[in-house]
Structure 1
């Protein structure tokens, strides 16, 4: 299970680099934070149950934050 969190950290790091190259700084910061979170969890060697609890908590926080952003902050069609 710890290897899966390391893998998630790798892919969120790749996305952070892509967002950085694209000039999307808020997304870059979010994905760098996710990368750090996943890599930290990957090296803690917790039990599988604890990894599932941590991932569930991560998904809950992400969905609440994403819903708040999509509902109250994001302006549809607000391109450059």
Structure 2
């Protein structure tokens, strides 16, 4: 399970680099931060249950943030 966090770190690094190349600095910084957190967690050697709880907490926060952003900050398409 710890190896999967390092894989997540790799892919968030790739996405962050692509965002940086596309001049989306705030998105790139967000993904670089996620990369650091995932790689750090990947080397902590926690139990599998702890890794699953951390991952589901991460997913809940991301889905709530995405829902908040799309509901309150995006303009309607058909307006």
Distance of 1:75 and 1:15 partners within structure 2: 25
Distance of 2:52 and 2:15 partners within structure 1: 23
Which deviates more from structure 2 when the two are superposed, residues 20-29 or residues 49-58? 20-29
Distance of 2:22 and 2:76 partners within structure 1: 20
Alignment root-mean-square deviation, CA: 1.2
Aligned to 1:36: 36
TM norm structure 1: 0.89
Aligned to 2:59: 59
Distance of 1:58 and 1:26 partners within structure 2: 19
Q: Please, which runs of 5 or more residues in structure 1 have no aligned partner?
A: none
Q: Please, which runs of 5 or more residues in structure 2 have no aligned partner?
A: none
TM norm structure 2: 0.90
* Alignment length (residue pairs): 77
Aligned to 1:26: 26
Distance of 1:30 and 1:74 partners within structure 2: 19
